[in-house]
Amino acid sequence: MEYKLNKPLLKKVLKEKKISYAKLAEMLTEQGQDITERGIKFWFADEKNKPEIAKAKLICEMLDIPVNDLIIQDIFQIAPVQNVEAADEPAENTVYVPFFKDGVVSAGFGAENGDLGDPDMLPFKPEDLRIMFNVSPKARIGIIPCFGNSMEPTIMESDLVVFCHDGQEAIEGAIYVCRYDNELLVKRFKKRPYFALISDNKDYEPIEIAEDLNIEILGRVVGSYSINSKRF
């Protein structure tokens, strides 16, 4: 499985628990996952380096780290493609967007358990994506239901939120689908003078974040999809 290791979080937990790389190697080896201190240092030597998924899950278990916090999955790579073959329209005229129907994102106080579940694939015409959401048909986009009213009037409860993972640094004032403290949220990002998650509904207080190491950005919101679509 393709994934990204949350290395800043792992370093932080190891420091808090006073566990050295050598000790972590010893703990893993005792559990049947042989590795040396040098092997663990290799994980941190380059951004692309990481342990096998079995080791990463064992680390979560041993250090009491939520799996979704340490093991960051590429939700666009794990989207199933078998549904595409059953489509009626020719593939060249259709873009299939993963719809995470079981992964409700909260525009409120947070949707517990950040598990997105297995997506369905929704067909779109390329020109519709451009017109409705101003995104390229080749963009890495996804759709997720919205629960709660904290982002009203921008995003209404029960809207389908369309988000794009472009790999860019978070933009001040933009709206993002993110995972924080094992909860899925849709919030506006405030970066100055402190980092906070902002609701457009003024009845909700900002969520101040001491540090953003544990925030996983799934994508920037490019619109909402309901009976009437909106473009941001």
Cis before 8 (ω within 30): no
What would the mean pLDDT of 155-174 be, rounded to a whole number?
87
75-89: average pLDDT: 47
Q: Are 216 and 72 in contact (CB under 8 A)?
A: yes
Q: Is the pLDDT of residue 88 over 50?
A: no
Q: What pLDDT, in 10s, does the model give residues 181-198?
A: 778 889 999 988 888 999
Condensed to tens digits (0 to 9), the pLDDT of residues 166-179 reads 777 788 899 999 88
Which residues make up the CATH 1.10.260 domain(s) of the chain? Answer: 3-73
Residues 5 and 58: beta-carbon distance below 8 Å:
no
End-to-end CA distance of the chain: 33
Q: Write down the CATH superfamily of domain 82-231.
A: Umud Fragment, subunit A (2.10.109.10)
Long-range contacts of 62-65 (CB under 8 A, 24+ apart): 62/27, 62/28, 62/31, 63/10, 63/13, 63/14, 63/17, 63/19, 65/9, 65/10, 65/13
* Predicted confidence (pLDDT) at residue 38 exceeds the cutoff of 60: yes
Alpha-carbon span 200 to 107, nearest angstrom: 9
76 in Cβ contact with 98 (< 8 Å):
yes
Give the residue range(s) of CATH 2.10.109.10 domains in the chain.
Answer: 82-231
Is the confidence at residue 91, as pLDDT, over 60? no
Average pLDDT for the chain: 82
pTM for the structure as a whole: 0.62
113: left (phi over 0), alpha (psi -120 to 50) or beta: left
* CATH number, domain 3-73: 1.10.260
Tokens of 228: 């009437």
- Give the single-character DSSP code of 147: E
- Picking from 175, 182, 181, the residue whose alpha carbon sits closest to that of residue 146 is 175
